[in-house]
Structure 1
């Protein structure tokens, strides 16, 4: 997009805001203020107390205590100092700020972008990994491969390896590492992660992923925040399997 196009689109997007600010505000009989709102609220509460007492919901002593507290709040609200507003001055300042927004946006565009830049592939969104870090990741993979599943640290290291592979967008390797850990100890959240990765890779909920969703849901605590989402996944998977 060229600079002229950028400014044109920005101004078109801001036109409704300018129109709203330039419109003459309708005159109202009285302005809404914090003091007035508070007094109205407390007076309504007094009416509610009378109604509850007449209905037998509270006794006279409870009504008297509550009425005393509300009256104290009324006195406190009545002493509030109202500050005069300057809507016209605020309107002018806001219009000035809106007028400066395209200039700031265009300056950022000139610094961080240029029409001649080619489109960036999705893969470039991932942070670059240095050769030193890649060597450390390979060392971790060899370490996990040499460990016995009976090792107390095996599950943690396998999950860590899976997270590294997932970060590097090596989905099959990540699934393999996660499954190694899941085979030793069933963790509902880990089963969900595997099922999600497989669904992302396959483009649909396979029978294996559906089974993982069901096992995770069965093993999940009753207050797990993701229960509803997993139930929706299972329903979608069952529908796909039936068709």
Structure 2
């Protein structure tokens, strides 16, 4: 109620000032002939003084008075004419004034109803933090988030690789305490986009490792949980991230997803601080660094902070000399050279990160080389890296279609 009283009084004061200015009209402070009129009246007084002192005679005084009076009449007529020239119709003025008040009050109300939040209480920073914490504690769990996800398209993989995966699954089912088998299963399920099976296998591997589990193990499990939930950081994924950060506070992937979690519950200010510290502590390029750089400026703006994230220099592709040399190779040698370039690009993107165009080129190249399982893994990783960047995601999806890993 206090807000409405204050905003209504403010609108009324502004409207009153505008109406007052309108009613007073736009006139000069003083007509141009007013100064002349004051001079002529002073001259009349001077004539009487000169006559009393005997400076001039009666006849001269009458003649001077007559001339000054004529000038006074002329100046007065000019003042009247100027006053009539700036006068404005009172009826029209009142109509315009009422329309102005209606537009200011009614238009302001309509604009607020459209853009504002009528009935919404004030949200001081302390209350916003309380709401964010409550949202964090009551948000859906991992199973609920997975249940809401649409069915993922099945990747096209080689028959031999599919048979090997079935053998690996059967072997891990028969020997659930096989640490190496669970790690391999988690990695390969992730390559196929089976993120639920991936994080379940990784969770079993972490249980087998016990206290030897590293921050990387926990962050990779959390990443697969987040991927299975469509980018949503559940309480279970948060717990895995917390374990990773407890072991290594500078674990980059965990810092990135921790910031994502804070952003999802309504704390862009905390996200900005976490991501800024992550960039400071980990200056080397990496996929998660690209993801932070792609979003941190928007997060900073939402947190009310002005921030310009430094952008890394893009890495060049093969030179013209390399392409010319490949033209002279035999088909087998050319294929080996292409595989070497693709491997080099894959390794660089995995360690240093890169642009959306480079990720798309790697996906297409793996499709050409018929390594669709690897292409599918890179495709999903690129989606995580450029989450929120619609232009980059469109480029990545086009590459996935070209590599025939999307049905």
- Tell me whether the two structures share a fold, i.e. TM-score over 0.5: no
When Rg is computed on C-alpha atoms for both structures, the one with the higher figure is 2
Give the TM-score, by structure 1 length.
0.40
Normalising by structure 2, we get a TM-score of 0.25
